[in-house]
Structure 1
Amino acid sequence: MVAQAFTVDLDKPLVFQVGHLEEQYQDWVHQPIVSKEGPRFFANDVLEFLTRTKWWAVPLIWLPVVCWCLNTSIQMGHTYPEVALMVVVGMFIWTLIEYTLHRYLFHIDTKSYWTNTAHYLLHGCHHKHPMDGLRLVFPPTAAAILCYPFWNLVKLFTTTSTTPGVFGGGLLGYVIYDCTHYYLHHGQPSSDPAKHLKKYHLNHHFRIQNKGFGITSTLWDHVFGTLPSTKTVDKSS
């Protein structure tokens, strides 16, 4: 007797349902529902609140930290041009981290209950409900956790006085990334490069989801051969 396939009830909190899809999860999560109304994740109101973030919280919270980092390197004796170079280096590193996380972590194949659940929370929810405006940027708590390994990564190849400046540049890159990502979904750019990036990113959601992992640029897709074809799709209008 063949077991009946699990069906997700979209009218109930989703997070603890999706794991039951097992091997069918990947197919389900990559069939987007285009609606600006996001689903409920948890029955618990506190947990539900923690999954929702306004886009403006990202620059509001993290830009002061960026300024503190850059000022720290200045106070430790570096000139403004030197700190500007640190910022460029940090932002460049962030673009590679952005690509790597998106390609190898956010798009990892999962099948078991708990790996499906974790993937849905991390990135799967965004592919299932790509226009959910309250789940387009990283919650501050999650971003703060990621700051620790990024700081330690920067420390591996910088000096004590340059670590804050390079880290601040990377953090600025993250802020630009998250704000850009929100704009690509909800903005209506009329000229390049934003118009091109919007089409590029929506292709990733609606046509070819295993390519086009760049958000702020297509640089690393060119380098690593994950550039999709030029055909475009726009599901936002």
Structure 2
Amino acid sequence: MSGKEFTVDLNKPLVFQVGHLGETYQDWVHTPIMTEESPRFFKSDFMEMLTRTVWWVVPIVWLPVAFYFIKMSHTMGLPLPLVAILSVIGAFVWTFLEYCFHRFLFHLDTNSYWGNTFHYLIHGCHHKHPNDGLRLVIPPAEAAILAVMFWNLYGILFPLSIRPVMFGGGLIGYVLYDMIHYYVHHGQPTKPSIKTLKKYHLNHHFRIQNKGFGITTTLWDKVFGTLPKTKAAEKSR
């Protein structure tokens, strides 16, 4: 059966269905379903549990880990002012990683069975069901795998005493990313800067999905030319 002939049954577990969409997957996954219902992903209750995460789990799990690693660098001899500066730098580095993940991994153009399945699991589900509050932040098990990867990478990039604080600062950046991402979807911000981020991100979801990849900042979209034009600028052309 070709992708054009396959229809996803929303009443059945979705993950192992979407791969059958083939070349029609991209159109399907970027046509959102605007309900707050959390769809079933897997038949297994255990697997299903691993895909659902309430937002407050992220700071509870990862902030203590972040401060542990930051303190480790101080224990290894780095003065507190330098630790504070490197923590901020680590969080700033995260904003670049966040942009790269979102642009180059989360928006892969897939059409194979396993490519579609992988994409749906890591990000496609969020575009298909943008109001699903239980699949908006990264599950701890998935985040832990990424954390181990970055800890090992930072071991190559940084000296022994600087590695922990850069890693810890990055974790703080990640927590801010997930909290801001959740809030721009489900919160009603009154602060102008957060209202702007909300408008910016919803524009990515519902208007121009191949631009506007930043969540915590628009900086890297400006640097790499993926800043979407405003409606006013488009009308003036």
TM range (shorter): over 0.9
Map of 1:89 onto structure 2: 89
Map of 1:137 onto structure 2: 137
Amino acid at match of 1:105: L
Question: In terms of mean alpha carbon deviation, does 76-85 or 201-210 score higher?
Answer: 76-85
The DSSP-based 3-state class of the residue aligned with 1:212 is: coil
Map of 2:235 onto structure 1: none
**Displaced runs of 4+ in structure 1, greater than 2 A?**
152-157
Structure 2 counterparts to residues 115-154 of structure 1, below 5 A: 115-154=115-154
Unaligned runs of 5+ in 1: 233-237
Q: Which has the higher helix share?
A: 2
* 8 A contact 2:131–2:185 mirrored in 1: yes
* 8 A contact 2:133–2:182 mirrored in 1: yes
Map of 1:35 onto structure 2: 35
TM-superposed deviation, 1:46? 0.8
Task: Work out whether 1:26 is the aligned partner of 2:26.
Answer: yes
Structure 2 counterparts to residues 70-219 of structure 1, below 5 A: 70-219=70-219
Map of 2:224 onto structure 1: 224
Amino acid at match of 1:44: S
Amino acid at match of 1:52: R
Number of corresponding residues: 231
TM-score by length of 1: 0.95
TM-superposed deviation, 1:190? 1.6
TM-score by length of 2: 0.95
Task: Work out whether 1:14 is the aligned partner of 2:14.
Answer: yes
* 8 A contact 2:3–2:24 mirrored in 1: no
Unaligned runs of 5+ in 2: 233-237
Task: Work out whether 1:56 is the aligned partner of 2:52.
Answer: no
Deviation string 1:151-193 (CA, Å, 9 cap, x unpaired) is 2332233211111011100010000000110001000012211
C-alpha distance 161-132 of structure 1, shift in aligned 2 (>3 A): same
Residues in 1 aligned to 2:92 and 2:7: alpha-carbon distance in whole angstroms: 43
TM-superposed deviation, 1:148? 1.8
Residues in 2 aligned to 1:3 and 1:93: alpha-carbon distance in whole angstroms: 40
Q: CA RMSD in A?
A: 1.4
C-alpha distance 122-3 of structure 1, shift in aligned 2 (>3 A): closer
Amino acid at match of 1:142: E
Residues in 2 aligned to 1:14 and 1:96: alpha-carbon distance in whole angstroms: 32
Amino acid at match of 2:171: L
* 8 A contact 2:29–2:128 mirrored in 1: yes
Residues in 2 aligned to 1:229 and 1:14: alpha-carbon distance in whole angstroms: 34
Task: Work out whether 1:67 is the aligned partner of 2:38.
Answer: no
* 8 A contact 2:208–2:228 mirrored in 1: yes
TM-superposed deviation, 1:4? 6.1
Residues in 1 aligned to 2:31 and 2:117: alpha-carbon distance in whole angstroms: 17
The DSSP-based 3-state class of the residue aligned with 1:65 is: helix
Deviation string 1:76-135 (CA, Å, 9 cap, x unpaired) is 111111101111111111011000000000000111111101110010000000010000
Question: In terms of mean alpha carbon deviation, does 30-39 or 193-202 score higher?
Answer: 30-39
Map of 1:235 onto structure 2: none
C-alpha distance 77-4 of structure 1, shift in aligned 2 (>3 A): closer
C-alpha distance 187-3 of structure 1, shift in aligned 2 (>3 A): closer
